[in-house]
Structure formats: C-alpha cells, structure tokens
C-alpha cells in the first residue's frame, strides 16, 4: 500500500484558511516573541471572521478561487501511483444525505486552519495528530459547544434520512449505521485518535505545564 505520494498536488486552500494565515502573519509581526495559544487564537479568528462583511471577505474568496483553479489544473495532470484509487467502491447516491461529523470533527474544522497556518509543512497525519492533542486538552466545558453542534447536525441528518427514504431512495439500514469500508475507516480513525490522546497525556508533567502556561493571544 502506498503511504503517501509526494507528487500529489497540494490540496485546495479555503477562504477561511487564507484569512487565518493573514491573522497568523499579523500576530508574528506584532508579537514575534509570543508563542501562539491555539485555543485563544482559533477562537479569535473565528470571531473576527464572523464580523467581516461580504466585501471584506471577498479578497479571501478570490484567493481561494485562484487556488482552486491551480488545484484543478494540477489534478488533471496528476497520475496516482500504481495501486492507488484502483479498489472498486460502491457508487454513492449523490442525493443521499451526508453523514454528520462528530464533535471532534466539528472541532477539527474550526482548528485545522490554525494548525496549518502555524505549521504549513505538516502532513495530513501530522496535522491529525496535532488536532488530536489539542482536542485531548479541551475541558468538558470547552467541548460542550462542539458536542451540541454535532448533536444538532445528527438530528438534522436523521430527519433528512427519513425524508430521503420516504422518497424511495434508501436502503433498509438505520441512519448513521456504517457498514463495510465505512466501519473499517471509522475504526481506524478512532484507533489513531485514541493513540494520539494517550501519547499526549503521557507526556512529562514539565512539558504539560509548559503548554498550559503559553501566553494568551493579544
């Protein structure tokens, strides 16, 4: 099995990711000697993004569009290594409701741009590991908003599945019950995250104290 292709085009960068990178550059200019506190930085970026109007967001949207053109062009010329993407997969119904993300993945969607802006050279696996470490540091109170959002998305998904089935476009399986490759993929993801969290919590206390005493973002 091929574990990564260095020739594969770099993924598309979203408008929000470009915005986060701008915030990161701004922080470096203003306080170059102050390390970034990921939690505070990510929350502040999210708050600032929500306050931007359409005109202010447009430049980041334009940057994302340009990068999408780059990505699409590179993907057209990209030839994956032997054995990649050859496995036959059951064709999915494009009209079927999309499975909702877990609380952790809702968290990842918010924090990934921050992690990538701090360490743009990280691989997908390294980024996932960093996100797992950040998630393990969140208190029950800090996790609550992500749990609530995931629960609402789950409820919406179940309603959408019911409507989808009523239209005659579904199997008899229960909503959200993964099968086959989906089960294997979920099991693999859960195992990796468990390992990341365990390894992180086994760190020497001195390192934990160092992480917890980082300066807050101004």
What local confidence, expressed as pLDDT, does residue 68 receive? 92
Q: Mean pLDDT in runs of 10 for the chain (218 residues)?
A: 69 88 88 81 87 93 93 89 61 83 92 83 86 91 92 89 74 49 55 53 46 39
What local confidence, expressed as pLDDT, does residue 88 receive? 47
pLDDT digits (tens, 9 = 90+) for 31-75: 888 887 777 888 888 889 999 999 999 999 999 999 999 999 999
What local confidence, expressed as pLDDT, does residue 209 receive? 41
Structural domains in the chain, sorted by start: 10-82 (1.10.30.10), 98-169+186-201 (1.10.30.10)
What local confidence, expressed as pLDDT, does residue 95 receive? 80
CA distance 87 to 180: 13
Count how many Cα atoms sit within 13 Å of the Cα of residue 126 in the half-sphere of its side chain.
Answer: 9
DSSP 34-82: SPP-HHHHHHHHHHHHHH--HHHHHHHHHHHHHHHHHHHHHHHT--PPT
CA distance 214 to 93: 47
What local confidence, expressed as pLDDT, does residue 55 receive? 93
What local confidence, expressed as pLDDT, does residue 185 receive? 56
Rounded to two decimals, what is the model's pTM?
A: 0.51
Average pLDDT, the chain: 77
Cα dihedral value 82, 125, 185, 85, nearest 10: -20
């Amino acid at each position: 099995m091929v574990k990564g292709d260095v020739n594969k085009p770099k993924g598309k960068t979203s408008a929000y990711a470009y915005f986060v990178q701008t915030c990161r550059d701004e922080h470096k200019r203003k306080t170059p000697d102050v390390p970034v506190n990921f939690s505070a930085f990510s929350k502040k970026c999210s708050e600032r993004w929500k306050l931007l109007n359409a005109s202010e967001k447009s430049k980041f949207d334009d940057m994302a569009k340009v990068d999408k053109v780059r990505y699409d062009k590179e993907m057209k010329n990209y030839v994956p290594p032997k054995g990649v993407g050859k496995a036959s997969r059951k064709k999915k119904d494009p009209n079927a409701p999309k499975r909702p993300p877990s609380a952790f993945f809702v968290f990842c969607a918010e924090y990934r741009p921050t992690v990538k802006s701090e360490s743009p050279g990280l691989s997908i696996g390294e980024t996932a590991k960093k996100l797992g470490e950040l998630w393990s540091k969140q208190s029950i109170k800090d996790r609550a908003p992500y749990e609530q959002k995931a629960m609402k998305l789950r409820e919406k998904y179940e309603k959408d599945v019911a409507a989808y089935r009523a239209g005659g476009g579904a199997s008899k399986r229960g909503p959200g019950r993964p099968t086959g490759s989906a089960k294997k993929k979920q099991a693999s993801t859960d195992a990796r995250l468990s390992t990341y969290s365990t390894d992180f919590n086994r760190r020497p206390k001195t390192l934990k104290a160092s992480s917890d005493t980082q300066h807050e973002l101004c």
